[in-house]
Every structure is written in structure tokens, then in C-alpha cells.
Amino acid sequence: MKNIVNKTFELFSELEHCNNDQQKWKIEEMDGIMREMSEDELNSVLSARMLNKICQMIEEKKMSMENAILLLKCIGYCTMLKRIRVYCFNDSLVNKRFKTLIVDEYKKKEKKNEKLLVDFCECYISLSIYFPSGLLSVCVPCLQKVAFQKEENEEAQNEVEMALMALSNVKNSEVKKELSLNEITDIIEYHQEHHNLTHLAYQSAWQFLIFRFNMERSLEEVIVNELHFVREAARELEELRECVDWKRREKKKGEKEMKEVLIIGRWLDVIVHFFLSCQLWNEEFFGLIGGIESAFQKAKGEHRGICKECISSFTNIERNRAVTIEDLLKGRAVDAVVKEFQTQTLNNEMTYECLTFLMRVLRRLKEEKDEMGEEKINTIKKKLFEKMEEEGHEDIAISFYEILHFFKRRYDNGLSLDISDYFVNVRENG
């Protein structure tokens, strides 16, 4: 069987020699192959040369605009699902051409093709990294209009999913409140009542909203207490992880299962961003932490990438001062990390993630002693000590002491070299 990367290059090179229907079949075949690729494989396929070639084929009339849109949407969908940034798009001829196409179609006074404008916007937004504010003012309302379709047939759901995925790719760019926030909250609220979106579409809607958080602090109350992000994210994680047969070898999983694993990864990104921005406390927090821990346990031994992201998520959640050490205990984050620590070895990224989390939790106890009171601190420290003692944490931490310098150099991060930071000392009373 041919290497899938070489097969993709071969199919692409054949496109300019095919008629319209043959091109469509080959593009659909490329789409199926790209969906099976790893992130590294897909990165190796995408290049400015490929994107420029697409533009050249359009200009030389060797590829119809319809087929070019189909191919670019396939590429955009796969890269967004796998969380790949297409840096080569910024300087490509396709970038420049589609900017012009969007503006020209939007400015038409008569015979404006709304469907074509949506296609142009989806191609551009799904692949781009930098978004001129003028184009966002056209593309965001256009895509939100598609996303608010209420039909539930498969074709409509696919259109909604693609529109919301494209919107989710708009991260730290400024999007004016009047262009985005009311509409996206309406889409989320409608789904919560009618369940009309796919898992990926719903996650994408939340991603677009959460990435507006830093620029629009008034969203906090809406996100936390009205739309119940924490509860919804926990429920979605549960549904997704239960759909996957984690015990099967990854290579043998079907497309649907692998898609749901990738959506879990996208949720973890959004959850981290939420906790790094949110200042409110909500009693649902430890439930979401527990949801991440359950995803970690399901993926353990089967999908190391998701496991590492879960541990990293705990560390980022701890950075939020609205989250207490007790929340992390109730959510079983500490249990998961301490147990995982047992299985790690030198030169392992998971070791670094575990050490970082434990160091931050134990340092936080020191910092909050006066604020929480000695009695409460001692109670929490005792719980931590018991968990760590059960797993032989002290012996394990000591065994890693000699390599702390190694981890500090390798990851260029503030790991403590004071071994006492990784121990819990319970003051004996009486």
C-alpha cells in the first residue's frame, strides 16, 4: 500500500489533467486520505506551493471555482479538526485571491450570490491565521447566518458544522460585540433547548465565544451562570469519551471514533482558555475537573496525546485562583497525577507535566496559609499526604531529584529545584 502522503501528492498532481467530474472524485479521495493522516503527515502535505498551484489552476481554467472551493474546504476542515495552523496560507496566492473574491461578491448591488459568498468566507477563514477587521465584518455575520439554520437534515447539519468550525478559527482577533456575541449566544441557547448541532458544531460555537472572553469581560456572567459553560463542557466530554472504544488500537479505530477523540482535544483547549480567563467561582467547577480526569483515565495507555493534555489542563486550571485545592481534590485531579507519576521515566514529557502540577499545588498551599487558616490548610495537607503516601510519592519524587535540572533545561520552565516543594509536610497538633 502506498504511503498516504505520497498518494495525496500523486492525486493532487493529477488534478490539472482531469475533467471536472474526475477532479471531484479525486478531491473526495484526497479528503478521505487527509482525514486519516496524523498531524505530522498533514503538515508535510500542505505548502505554499500546493496553495499557489490551486490558484494557478483556477486562473488557467484547469480547475473550476466549484472544485477549488471543495478542495480548500477539505483542507480547512482537516486542519481545523486536527488543530493545525496553516502558516503558509498567509503568503499564498490563494489568500490574496480569496480576499478579493469576498470583497467583490459582497459589494455587488445586484445578483449577489449568497451561497458563493459563504463558500469564499469559509475557505478564507478556515485557513487563515491573520484576519483583517474589514474582512471579519463581512465574514462573521455571513457565517453566523448559516450557523443559525434550524433544519436538522444531514446536509444542513454539515453546512452549520463547517460555518461554526470556520468561526472557531478566529481566535485572538478583535470581533466587534455587535457582530458576534448576541448571535453566537443565541445559537448556543437554541442548541441547549433543541439539540440541533453536532458535537463538533457545538464545541466550535463555544470555542468562538470563549476566545472573545479576554476582550469582552462582560461575557463572564453570561458564560458561567447563564449558558453554564462548565456544566455543558463536562457533559460533552462525558458523551464523547463514552462513544470511543479506547481499548482498540488507534490505527483500527473508525473515522467517527477518531473524530470524537480530536473533538475532545479541541474541548480541552477551550476549557484551558476559559479557566485562564474566568474570575468567577462556580460550584460546577470540580465536576468539570472530574470530567477531564475521567477522560484521562479512559485514554490512559491508549492515547498519550490526550493524557498529556489532561495533565497540562489540570496545571492551567490550578492557575485560576477561583479554583481551590479542594476543587482539584474533589475533581480527582491530584489522584490522577500522583498515580500517573508512578509510571513515568526520564526523558518523558508526562513526567514534566506531573512535576509541574504537583509543584504548583504544593506551593499554592504555602502561599495561601494565612488566607485559608492553619486548621484548614492542615486538613487539606493531610488529605494530600495520605494520597501521596498511598502511591509512594516521596520515594518517587526523590528518585527524580537528580534529573530536575535536566527537566528545567529541556523545557525552559520554572520547575523548582527544591525537593521540599514536592512533599507535603503535615504539622502535628497537640
pLDDT digits (tens, 9 = 90+) for 12-48: 999 999 999 999 999 999 999 999 898 999 999 999 9
> Looking at the predicted structure, is the pLDDT value of residue 84 above 70?
yes
- How far apart are alpha carbons 2 and 343 in whole angstroms? 37
Predicted confidence band of residue 152 (pLDDT cuts 50, 70, 90): confident
DSSP string over 181-226:
HHHHHHHHHHHHHH--S-HHHHHHHHHHHHTTGGG-TTHHHIIIII
Q: Which residues contact 311 (CB under 8 A, 6 or more apart)?
A: 296, 336, 337, 340, 350, 353, 354, 357
| pLDDT tens digits, 114-145 | 999 999 999 999 999 988 888 998 999 999 99
64-73, 320-329, 393-402: lowest mean pLDDT where? 393-402
What does the pLDDT look like over 347-360, one tens digit per residue?
577 877 887 888 78
User: What are the residues whose beta carbons fall under 8 Å from the beta carbon of 299, sequence distance 6 or more?
Assistant: 241, 246, 261, 306, 307, 310
* pLDDT of residue 403 exceeding 50: yes
Counting DSSP H helices and E strands in the chain, the numbers are 23, 0
Which comes out higher in pLDDT, residue 176 or 309? 309
pLDDT score of 1: 38
User: 406 and 352 in contact (C-beta within 8 Å)?
Assistant: no
> In Å, how far from its chain's centre is CA 237?
12
Other CB atoms within a 10 A radius of the CB of residue 416 amount to 17
Closest by CA to 344, choosing from 295, 387, 311, is: 311
* Percentage of the chain exceeding pLDDT 90: 51
Which pLDDT band holds residue 302 (cuts at 50, 70, 90)? confident
Mean pLDDT value of segment 284-309: 89
| Higher pLDDT, residue 220 or 78 | 78
